[in-house]
Amino acid sequence: MRWLLAIALLATTFCARAEYPATEPRLTDKNRISLIQALGETLRDKRITQKQYEQSIAWVNSYPCDGVDRRLTARRKDQLQVAIAKEQKLKTVRVFDSFESEGWFILFTDASVGDEPYLFYSEDPEKGGHPVTAWSGAATIFETSEMEQWVKENAPGIPAQLASCFAWHVTLRPE
């Protein structure tokens, strides 16, 4: 009986770890201070403009991800992987990350031959939604505002907060 209880406890622990947090982690005070110092040095070295500096400082001091659902249970992840693989006509797809707000979804996947894309959906992919657009690559802290604008232009109708959260995530997320 003890072994059964121990196995159940262990399984519960692994299941808890398999689920993703409900919200995007915030920058720590230490991260914010480091970023602000680096931004100041970059401005002094004239590698960025005053406007880029001011925009970047505003992003560092913001947190646009409140209310964006980042949960991704193991069950939901499996369901999304099957749905996206079918829709993309791929044998398998892995989903790494999820953002959800107001019926919109952004999913970080491996559904590409090249860089792993973020797929943007205006409706649940599990219910037949198709990607509105995709983005892959890298962006820096100096490009957060441009990234937000890119999302709004390429995913028309996306909730503004979700666009901001995504831009913040790909340029500032704490590792």
Which pLDDT band, with edges at 50, 70 and 90, does 127 fall under? very high
Which of the two residues, 25 and 78, has the higher pLDDT score?
A: 78
Residue 46 to residue 36: CA distance in whole angstroms = 15
pLDDT, averaged across the chain? 87
Task: Provide the whole-model pTM.
Answer: 0.84
Please give the average per-residue pLDDT across 117-121, as a whole number. Answer: 97
Strand pairing class (95-101; 104-109)? antiparallel
Give the rounded percent of residues in the chain with a pLDDT score beyond 70. Answer: 87
Which of the two residues, 41 and 14, has the higher pLDDT score?
A: 41
Please give the average per-residue pLDDT across 86-98, as a whole number. Answer: 95
Domain extent listing, the chain: 22-175
Closest CA to 164 of 144, 140, 141, 136: 144
Of 14-18, 29-33, 63-67, 91-95, minimum mean pLDDT range: 14-18
pLDDT at 24: 82
The pLDDT tens digits of the residues spanning 143-164 come to 999 999 999 999 999 999 999 9
Q: Which pair of tokens denotes residue 36?
A: 């602000």
Alpha helices in the chain (DSSP H): 2-18, 29-44, 50-60, 74-88, 144-154, 160-172
